């Protein structure tokens, strides 16, 4: 099955710590690009069943911090 054509571009802002966690994950999992790693992390997050619902009451959902393992 061919990969669907990517037609949408998203722009996000990350701080240095968030970017480091993503890049470390990318290299640990031998992902070819940062974009591929982010797509895979999004895919995994969307299918995960044991993730708590975000607390969005009165907050922006963009204000989060990555807690390194």
Q: How confident is the model at residue 21 (pLDDT cuts 50, 70, 90)?
A: very high
Contact of 29 with 37, CB cutoff 8 Å: yes
Share of the chain above pLDDT 70, in %: 83
Chain mean pLDDT for the chain: 85
Bigger pLDDT: 55 vs 42: 42
For the record, the structure tokens of 63 come out as 């204000």
User: How many CB atoms neighbour CB 40 within 10 A?
Assistant: 14
**Domain layout of the chain by residue ranges:** 16-46
Q: Model-level pTM?
A: 0.69
Across 54-69, average pLDDT: 60
Question: Rounded to an integer, what distance in angstroms lies between the CA atom of residue 56 and that of residue 37?
Answer: 26
């Amino acid at each position: 099955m061919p990969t669907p054509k990517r037609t949408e571009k998203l722009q996000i802002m990350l701080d240095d710590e968030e970017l480091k966690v993503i890049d470390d994950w990318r290299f640990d999992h031998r992902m070819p690009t940062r974009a591929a790693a982010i797509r895979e992390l999004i895919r995994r997050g969307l299918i995960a069943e044991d993730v708590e619902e975000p607390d969005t009451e009165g907050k922006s959902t963009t204000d989060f911090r990555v807690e390194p393992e």
